[in-house]
Amino acid sequence: MTKYSYKAVMETPLAGDKDESVSVVVVEAPGCFSAGDTKEEAKANAKEALMSYLQTWLEVYGTIPLPDTEGPCWDDYAGPEWEQFTVVVDFEEVKKNVLKGRRLLEKVRVRLHNLGSAAERKFKNIQNMCHP
């Protein structure tokens, strides 16, 4: 099993803040954000978000961005409202999920082919929108 640890930060609400949700930024995965009503939920949602992020990278680029091994990159998140943590993902699980998605798309394609060419054209349009 190949496991990777990605640095993340959690913004907890300040005392008296009306917005009680907890925000998460996966610092080593640009554009990967999550949130939750509690810290535990936010961390679990961050793992789900990172898994989806890495699956998309693997599907599109054939590889995933690896975490920074040279040291913390969370200098921009040094205030008291930020809590640092890591999100651990299993690369084998990422690959397995991508393969499941491919198999599902193939099953759908075969069924639509059996329904006729109009349905197959619609599926190709959808597939092109998902994977340009």
Any idea what DSSP says for residue 21? Answer: -
With a pLDDT cut of 70, the percent of the chain lying above it is 80
Using the structure block, give the residue that is written with the tokens 């890495």.
54
Q: What is the pLDDT of residue 87?
A: 92
88-99 pLDDT per residue, tens: 988 888 888 777
Q: Which long-range contacts (CB under 8 A, 24 or more apart) does 58-67 make?
A: 58/94, 58/95, 58/98, 59/98, 59/101, 59/131, 60/131, 64/4, 64/91, 64/94, 65/28, 65/29, 66/4, 67/4, 67/5, 67/6, 67/7, 67/28
Kindly list the structural domains of the chain, giving each domain's residue range(s) and its CATH number in brackets, ordered by start: 3-130 (3.30.160.250)
Q: What is the pLDDT of residue 18?
A: 66
pLDDT at 1 > cutoff 80? no
**Selection from 19-28, 101-110, 116-125 with the highest mean pLDDT:** 19-28
Question: Nearest Cα to 50, choosing from 19, 105, 88?
Answer: 88
Query: Which two tokens mark 16?
Result: 């008296």
Tell me the mean pLDDT in the region 20-47: 90
CB-neighbour burial class of residue 98 (10 A; exposed 0-12, middle 13-18, buried 19+): middle
Tell me the mean pLDDT in the region 20-45: 90
Poorest-confidence range of 25-34, 40-49, 88-97? 88-97
Band of pLDDT at residue 81, cut at 50, 70 and 90: confident
Please state the pTM of the whole predicted model.
0.71
